[in-house]
């Protein structure tokens, strides 16, 4: 089997005990002990690999199908014998300004927890290390793992939201800078940012209902003392969703302001074009009149007629220029 099993261990009294090779036997020992559980972490398993690892866990076929096909919304499902939680970890590359999402499934049942990861966004390594350093939390059993995974994912949401806000501040400054030269790509940058914000929103907002359910009573396999921990996760998630809403509103305001600026600049350009056209219309009209070759034209046979006509054209153009300049058309 390829490296589909990232890590696995049996935990007793909140401490890591051993790395089992026979998962069914380890699960039976954990259930018999009463204060132990088995934690297996998988990375993008195939159907055969997943079946070989979990065939004795009693997982529901629908949950298994969802865990193998990473196209799920964040959700919490209750099945006979297990709880099934879907999370969407998010990673943000600040240098390239690219946001990517993965999927993380958590099965919690009688004396076992199974995590299945898809994508590169991965909080599990740090979660396992942090839990193993805090046996008081780990004594709560599989629910502690579900809480720690959810807490790590949501806390990373806060970091991503802060990074998005920082980039959004830079975009806002560029749009509203007095000396900015906005090109054709500015609208594309704003829409691209809205796409990233929407992708982030799809990961955070649907998670509200599962986390709220975990804070209440009535769910199987959820340790009653762990509900306080899930309330902390719910509070952090509420802050994330507020920031997502503010990002979306600010993006809409920036786009509206940018389009308004483009309208004002186009209006300024049209005024300038109209002013220049009016100035060129005067000499064009005078030249057109004198170009009709009539014998009886004003000052046609006067020696200073030609210079006087040119002076008239220049004078009228200067007067028009000053009028337009005073009205800020140039």
What digits encode the pLDDT tens for the residues 115-129? Answer: 999 887 677 778 888
pLDDT band for position 174 (50/70/90)?
A: confident
Task: Tell me the three state secondary structure of residue 37.
Answer: strand
The larger pLDDT score, comparing residue 265 to residue 52, is at: 52
CB 184 within 8 A of CB 50: no
Q: How far is CA 62 from the centre of its chain?
A: 29
- pLDDT at residue 315, rounded to an integer: 85
Give the CA dihedral 308, 310, 316, 321, nearest 10 degrees: -140
Q: Where are the domains of the chain?
A: 5-261, 265-326
- pLDDT at residue 89, rounded to an integer: 93
CB 105 within 8 A of CB 82: no
Give the containing element (helix H, strand E) for 248. Answer: helix 227-290
For residues 273-279, average pLDDT = 78
Q: How far is CA 170 from CA 97, 163, 254, in A?
A: 12, 11, 12
Most confident option among 2-6, 140-144, 182-186, 281-285: 140-144
Locus of tokens 């800078």: 177
For residues 270-295, average pLDDT = 76
Distance CA 6, CA 206 (A): 28
For residues 233-249, average pLDDT = 93
pLDDT greater than 60 at residue 183: no
Share of residues in the chain with pLDDT > 90 (%):
35
For residues 244-272, average pLDDT = 80
pLDDT band for position 1 (50/70/90)?
A: very low
Q: How far is CA 101 from CA 57, 196, 202, 297, in A?
A: 28, 10, 10, 81
The larger pLDDT score, comparing residue 276 to residue 201, is at: 201
pLDDT band for position 294 (50/70/90)?
A: low
The larger pLDDT score, comparing residue 271 to residue 106, is at: 106
Least confident range from 62-76, 84-98, 169-183: namely 169-183
pLDDT greater than 60 at residue 87: yes
Structure tokens at 210: 């599962």
Output phi, psi for 17, to 5 deg: -105, -50
- pLDDT at residue 146, rounded to an integer: 93
Q: Which CATH class is domain 265-326?
A: mainly alpha
Tens digits of per-residue pLDDT, 208-223? 999 999 998 888 888 8
For residues 97-119, average pLDDT = 91
Q: How many CB atoms lie within 10 A of CB 245?
A: 13
Distance CA 99, CA 101 (A): 7
pLDDT greater than 80 at residue 64: yes
- pLDDT at residue 279, rounded to an integer: 77
Structure tokens at 125: 């390594």
Q: What mean pLDDT, rounded, does the chain reach?
A: 85
What's the topology of domain 5-261? Beta Polymerase; domain 2 (3.30.460)
Question: Angle at the Cα of 230 (from 126 to 225), degrees rounded to 5?
Answer: 105
CB 168 within 8 A of CB 193: yes
């Amino acid at each position: 089997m390829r490296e589909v099993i990232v890590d696995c261990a049996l935990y007793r009294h909140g401490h890591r005990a051993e790395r089992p090779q026979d998962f069914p036997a380890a699960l039976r020992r954990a259930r018999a002990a009463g204060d132990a559980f088995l934690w297996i972490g998988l990375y993008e398993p195939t159907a055969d690999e997943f079946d070989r690892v979990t065939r004795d866990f009693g997982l529901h076929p629908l949950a298994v199908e969802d865990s193998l096909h990473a196209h799920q919304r964040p959700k919490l499902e209750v099945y006979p014998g297990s709880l099934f939680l879907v999370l969407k970890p998010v990673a943000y590359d600040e240098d390239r300004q690219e946001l990517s999402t993965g999927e993380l499934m958590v099965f919690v049942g009688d004396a076992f927890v199974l995590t299945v990861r898809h994508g590169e966004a991965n909080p599990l390594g740090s979660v396992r290390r942090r839990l193993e350093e805090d046996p008081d939390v780990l004594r709560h059993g599989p629910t502690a793992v579900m809480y720690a995974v959810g807490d790590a994912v949501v806390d990373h949401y806060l970091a991503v939201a802060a990074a998005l806000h920082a980039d959004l501040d830079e975009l806002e400054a560029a749009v509203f800078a007095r000396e900015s030269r906005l090109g054709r790509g500015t609208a594309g940058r704003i829409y691209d940012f809205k796409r990233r914000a929407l992708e982030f929103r799809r990961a955070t907002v649907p998670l509200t209902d599962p986390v709220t359910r975990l804070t209440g009573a009535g769910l199987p396999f959820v340790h009653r003392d762990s509900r306080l921990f899930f309330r902390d996760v719910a509070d952090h998630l509420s802050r994330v969703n507020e920031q997502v809403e503010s990002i979306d509103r600010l993006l809409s305001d920036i786009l509206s302001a940018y389009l308004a600026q483009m309208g004002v600049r186009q209006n300024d350009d049209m005024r300038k074009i109209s002013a220049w056209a009016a100035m060129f219309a005067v000499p064009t009209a005078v030249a057109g009149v004198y170009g009709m070759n009539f014998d009886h034209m004003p000052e046609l046979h006067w020696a200073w007629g030609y210079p006087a006509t040119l002076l008239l054209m220049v004078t009228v153009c200067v007067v028009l220029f000053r009028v337009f300049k005073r009205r800020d058309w140039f």
